[in-house]
Amino acid sequence: MSCWAGAGRGCAGGAGINLTLNLKYKTIPAGFTGFEIKLHGLKGGHSGVDIHLQRGNAIKLLTRALVATKHKIDFSFVEIMGGNMHNAIPREAFAKIAVVQNETDAFEKTLENQIAAIKSEFKPAEPDMRLSVSTIKLAQVLDGATEKTILNLLNALPHGVLAMSYDIPDLVETSSNLATVKIADNKMIIHVSNRSSVDSAIKAIQERVKSIGELAGAKVEELEGYPGWKPNLQSEILKVAKSAHIEILGKESKIKAVHAGLECGIIGEKYPGMDMVSLGPQIEYPHSPDERVRIGSVADFYKLLVGVIEKMAA
């Protein structure tokens, strides 16, 4: 299909939460080797459009590997960071840790084994996942209580599809994205982005993330969200758009709801009852290095847009 009319069945609303932890450090003991660990090569993608593809979240997977490794080889933790956008699935994550010198080989082997198991698990979705480990100089590490809190918190936070729609086949209803982990001014700031097409469900997942954050002793900041777009299959402008699609492009349109947020949700909140339709060219894999638009669909979209306007003006 060269152009889509994604209108009659709406879009998801969303909201976010910031969790902030104070970081307490201590001087690194003698006889430790510092490591920088990087998990990269993941596909990422839009946290609404691509969340159902079950791609890996680099922050979650690196945390998982470190937690499992720490059960076998002890290490001192310095930091973990990853992600750069609230609406993108993290493609990369970075950690710094310190290991007793006589256990460095065992640590690397254990970590590599954990990542190998994860790579095998995610191979269909993440064939290019890679682990890079290099030695670095470190002056300090987190104290034991802070280290434990961070690893447990990141390990506990949700990510991925939480519920599918009961009403619309194959539509994600509710999801969560552990989007970013940043460090500034001796604080770690974790952002979790949540989506749902059901108001009560978005409130429930917000409360779940808040509860996890409060259990970890984090400062919890609930961010202003954006509304969803309620489906209206009786929409008059949708009927016009469908008719124009057949007349101009010679084929029926596919009417879809999307798990991403659309401007129509915000406009609809400000102008209740406004009849709306969303049209666009064929875009794939937004918010990732693979993002692309099918060039031929841009011209088709323009012709369709002009045709809809002409029909509405007649």
Whole-structure pTM value:
0.82
**pLDDT of the residue at 288:** 74
* Ramachandran assignment for 32, one of left (phi > 0), alpha (psi -120 to 50 degrees), beta (any other): beta
Give the architecture (CATH level 2) of 14-226: 2-Layer Sandwich (3.30)
Is residue 220 within 8 A of residue 19, CB to CB? The reply is: yes
So where are the chain's domains?
Answer: 3-9+230-313, 14-226
pLDDT of the residue at 235? 84
Query: Residue 9 has what pLDDT?
Result: 52
**End-to-end Cα, the chain, rounded Å:** 27
Q: Are 208 and 171 in contact (CB under 8 A)?
A: no
Torsion, CA 128, CA 133, CA 139, CA 140, rounded to 10: 60
Residue pLDDT tens, the chain, 314 long:
333 433 345 667 889 999 999 999 999 988 999 999 999 999 999 888 899 999 999 999 999 999 999 999 999 999 999 999 999 999 999 999 999 999 999 999 999 999 999 999 999 999 999 999 999 999 999 999 999 999 999 999 999 999 998 877 888 889 999 999 999 999 999 999 999 888 888 999 999 999 999 999 999 999 977 777 766 778 888 888 888 888 988 888 877 777 776 777 777 778 888 888 888 888 887 777 778 888 988 898 889 889 889 988 87
In this structure, which amino acid lies at residue 151?
A: L
